[in-house]
């Protein structure tokens, strides 16, 4: 029974990895690459001491004849300089949803590996659990 629980946990992680990978591949395939300028940097703090946990960036870019200003959804350990330029890939249906081009490539690789590992992990524990019944 314990093995089947581990297998189920692996299946849940596998589903999350698969959904994230699908969304990233969709963005890579359908997204539009745009040069964006960093117009603001915000610190992400945590705890009573307000320890800096990372940075988010507000980006400004032109898309569909409009100027879009949007914040990234992920935190980074190092802040980009205000005024610096970054290549982003934005969703043509909702340009405020974007990923940095370099980060998107790395995340696709990361989630592909995560998916492969969880497939093996889940299969192992499920087979082990079924055999012990």
Q: What pLDDT digit, counting tens, does each position of 44-100 carry?
A: 888 788 788 889 999 999 998 999 999 998 878 888 999 999 999 999 999 999 999
Residue 59 exposed, middle or buried by CB count within 10 Å (0-12, 13-18, 19+): buried
**Residues near 6 by Cβ (< 8 Å), separated by ≥ 6?**
121, 125, 129
Instruction: Say what the pTM is.
Output: 0.80
Contact 62, 34 (CB under 8 A): yes
Q: What is the pLDDT of residue 53?
A: 83
Rounded percentage of the chain residues whose pLDDT exceeds 70: 100
Contact 10, 116 (CB under 8 A): no
Is the pLDDT at 32 greater than 90? The verdict is yes
pLDDT band at 29 (very low <50, low <70, confident <90, very high): very high
Q: What is the pLDDT of residue 50?
A: 79
Q: What is the pLDDT of residue 108?
A: 96
Q: What is the pLDDT of residue 113?
A: 95
**Mean pLDDT score across all residues of the chain:** 92
């Amino acid at each position: 029974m314990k093995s089947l629980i581990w297998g189920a946990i692996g299946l849940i992680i596998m589903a999350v990895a698969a959904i994230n990978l699908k969304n990233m591949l969709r963005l890579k395939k359908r997204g539009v690459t745009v040069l964006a300028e960093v117009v603001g940097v915000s610190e992400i703090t945590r705890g009573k001491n307000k320890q800096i946990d990372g940075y988010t960036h507000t980006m400004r870019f032109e898309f569909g004849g409009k100027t879009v200003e949007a914040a990234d959804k992920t935190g980074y350990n190092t802040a980009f300089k205000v005024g610096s330029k970054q290549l982003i890939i934005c969703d043509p249906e909702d340009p405020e949803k974007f990923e940095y081009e370099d980060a998107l490539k790395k995340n696709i690789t990361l989630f592909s590996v995560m998916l492969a590992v969880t497939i093996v992990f889940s299969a192992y524990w499920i087979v082990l659990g079924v055999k012990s019944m």
